[in-house]
Amino acid sequence: MEISIELADKKDNADLLDLMHEMPMPGYIQVSYRRDPDFFDSLGVEGRISQTIIGRELKTGRPVGMGTRSIKTMYINGQPMDVGYLSSLRVRKEYRGTLHLARGYKMFKELHKDGKAPFYLCTMLNDNIAARRLTTGRAHLPMHRNIGQFKCMAIALSQTIHKRKLEGIAIRHATRNDAPLLMQFLNAEGRRRQFFPVYSEGDLFMRKGLLRDIAPEDIIMAFSDSHLIGVIAAWDQKSFRRSVVTGYSKWLLRLRIAFNSFAKYLGFPILPPVGSVLNYFYLSLVCIRDDNKEVFLNLLTDLMMCKRNKYSFMIAGMHENDPLLTTLKNFRHLDYLSWIYLVYWEDAEKLCNELDSRIPYLELGGL
């Protein structure tokens, strides 16, 4: 059946929400990403500019696919640059042929001609075989360059947490007066990572924007001799983005009750009933001077202990080469793995080839 593809606007909100609800992410745990009540409002954390396309059957008007292009400023080789992010790609199974996908990407290429971003990032779950087929060099699709695995984990807050005090290190929650210091530190240290977002004071402690709903008490800071040396934050997005369990693989469904019995005892995250809204926060704004693992560990244990009475687990994610990843792995967790891709057309191939060896950083709450 013929389809039309066009830019979505507010009148398409209900159909976009339905597409997100009806097509959960595949894997041994199927999760639906909910963006109600306002899909467009939820895009503010992905970029300062966002455009969503929607595909419909010409005869019936039935929505069959969607995708979003967002743009924000990131550090590229240590310098600020506007970069795109492709997300919310959803296509009904019967429309996943190359022709329809090519038409969708043709629309993205038309949008790309505005010159607001030279290339794009996207992430794909390891279990999302259909999406990963896009990266195999199909005709009429942009180039997809794999730049490594993004290791995500659900870390249970109920597990035993051993807090160790570092000599000469003071740890405290942020206050609103810390905004200038936080911005100075995040931008000075963040540029050591590839794709670290460029933030401004106007992004902090706001109800909208790139860091919406992060409150001062959600940020923990580490100091040495009055100098800021580390920051992490807990980011609860349930007011505008939620994750709902829609199913389990057959083998896991049979084992869920038994698994949960052991998980509670051993301190692993439990598997909630189908239909449950997952109760978690994202580990965010991870910025540690000199990648000091002891400082990171102390910040983590403080954050986890502060939040354990309100949340079941923490979602954290890092590139496979990030030296801080080993600290996260020491906590009991469940893995779910993704891949990071550079997506570009021929006009950005030279720039993509010039990216240096800095370790990629993705703000998990901004994906």
Q: In tens digits, what is the pLDDT along the chain, a chain of 367 residues?
A: 789 999 999 999 999 999 999 999 888 889 999 999 999 999 999 999 999 999 999 999 999 999 999 999 999 999 999 999 999 999 998 888 767 888 899 999 999 999 999 999 999 987 656 555 665 556 578 999 999 999 999 999 988 888 778 889 999 999 999 999 999 999 999 999 999 999 988 899 988 889 999 999 999 999 999 999 999 999 999 999 999 999 999 999 999 999 999 888 888 888 999 999 999 999 999 999 999 999 999 999 999 999 999 999 999 999 999 999 999 999 999 998 999 999 999 999 999 999 999 999 999 999 9
**Residue 168 DSSP code:** T
Cα dihedral: 191, 321, 329, 305 (round 10):
0
* Measured distance CA(158)–CA(263) in Å, rounded: 10
pLDDT, position 109: 95
- Residue 274 domain-assigned (yes or no): no
Cis-peptide, bond into residue 118, ω within 30° of zero: no
- Residue among 341, 356, 269, 362 at smallest CA distance from 119: 341
- Same-domain status, 79 and 209: no
Tokens 């794999």 — which residue?
A: 146
- Same-domain status, 129 and 176: no
- Residue 244 domain-assigned (yes or no): no
CATH code assigned at 122 = 3.40.630.30
- Residue 95 domain-assigned (yes or no): yes
Q: What share of the chain is helix, strand, coil (3-state, %, to 5)?
A: 30, 35, 35
CB distance 104 to 53 below 8 Å: yes
- Same-domain status, 169 and 69: no
Strand-pairing partners, residue 315, are 154, 282
* Tokens matching residue 32: 């639906």
* Measured distance CA(218)–CA(205) in Å, rounded: 10
- Same-domain status, 92 and 191: no
Which residues, in sequence order, are CB contacts of 332 under 8 Å at separation 6+?
155, 156, 159, 266, 267, 268
- Same-domain status, 123 and 207: no
- Residue among 223, 354, 203 at smallest CA distance from 284: 203
* Measured distance CA(4)–CA(162) in Å, rounded: 56
pLDDT, position 83: 98
Q: Classify burial at 119, counting beta carbons within 10 Å of its beta carbon; exposed 0-12, middle 13-18, buried 19 or more.
A: buried
Q: Model pTM?
A: 0.93
- Same-domain status, 21 and 61: yes
- Residue 304 domain-assigned (yes or no): yes
Count up the domains in the chain and report the number: 2
- Residue among 28, 326, 286, 300 at smallest CA distance from 159: 300
- Residue 288 domain-assigned (yes or no): yes
- Same-domain status, 325 and 343: no
Q: Classify burial at 249, counting beta carbons within 10 Å of its beta carbon; exposed 0-12, middle 13-18, buried 19 or more.
A: middle
Q: How many residues does the chain have?
A: 367
Q: What is the DSSP string of 178-197?
A: GHHHHHHHHHHHHTTSBT-B
**β-strands 219-224, 169-173: how paired?**
antiparallel
- Residue 76 domain-assigned (yes or no): yes
**β-strands 143-156, 313-319: how paired?**
antiparallel
- Residue 188 domain-assigned (yes or no): yes
- Residue 173 domain-assigned (yes or no): yes
Q: What is the pLDDT of residues 304-363, one digit of tens each?
A: 999 999 999 999 999 999 999 999 999 999 998 999 999 999 999 999 999 999 999 999
pLDDT, position 129: 60
pLDDT, position 91: 92
- Same-domain status, 160 and 301: yes
- Same-domain status, 144 and 160: no
- Same-domain status, 45 and 140: yes
Task: Residue 292: give the domain boundaries.
Answer: 155-236+279-337
Give SS3 for 241.
Answer: coil
- Same-domain status, 166 and 294: yes
- Same-domain status, 182 and 88: no
